[in-house]
Amino acid sequence: MTLSFMFRLLSACAIFLLMPLRGANSVYVPVKEVASLRGIDVSHHQKQIEWDSLAAREPVDFAFVKATEGHDFVDSLFCLNWQELRRLGIRRGAYHFFRAYGCGDEQATHFLSLVEMETGDLAPVLDIEVLDGIAPEVMIQEAKIWLSRVEAQLGIKPIIYTNQHFFEKYLADHFDGYPLWIARYSDEKPSLSNGRQWDIWQFSNEGCVEGICKKVDLNVFPGTPEMLERLCWFPEQLPAAAQP
């Protein structure tokens, strides 16, 4: 199943899923006003990607790439993927795979030392999906340290990525205020029991994409490019007197 076909199928589902129900207090939204953006996320597991082929044949609106893991692992293809996305003008974001047994501050330092953010990049992502044999409360405490350190450094709240089951079991009610990127491999959008709204939905890990030799994760953002910018990094300009 190709990327374009899967996104057309998802878009058809999104029209139904995102459209308000009719009723006394609802407002009908025409189909043409329902928008969604297409995205992928990759790491070294996808091998070296032919980004030009992807951009020409099956363009995407945004892409996340793995940067780091734990306190010392660097994805071997991060720098190449990061540069290629910039060259092609594809909205990009970097993610860190969190290891619960590690120190949150050290992991944040590791991520920040590698990823050079540019204006318009998507907010950094903290990928939380394993306990590593650590007590949940310890994992949550260290994850909060990572989030606070990165937010303090960059001035933007990071995005939290996880799957729906892990969120419900361990993360619900602990990270209010942070954007959510939820994995649920289904034609039904994520529905979180605590009422939190998700921002990005990873709906498949079986995507076949031109230019990528391995299966790839597929994502959707239910909104317009202008709405996606709310999740992007736009650092405040320095006062004129402070600029070099």
Paired residues of 183 in beta bridges: 163, 202
Which residues are tagged catalytic? 129
Query: Which numeric CATH code is attached to 3-11+35-232?
Result: 3.20.20.80
The single residue listed with the structure tokens 């999906």 is 129
- 63 in Cβ contact with 93 (< 8 Å): yes
pLDDT tens per residue across span 206-236? 898 989 989 999 999 999 999 999 999 998 7
pLDDT digits (tens, 9 = 90+) for 125-143: 999 999 999 999 999 999 9
Partners of residue 73 on adjacent β-strands: 69
Give dist(CA 66, CA 95) in Å, integer: 5
User: CA 64, 70, 71, 76 torsion: positive or negative?
Assistant: negative
**For 22-31, b where at least 16 C-beta lie within 10 A, e where not — what string?**
eeeeeeeeee
> Amino acid letter at 62?
F
**pTM: predicted TM-score of the whole model, two decimal places:** 0.84
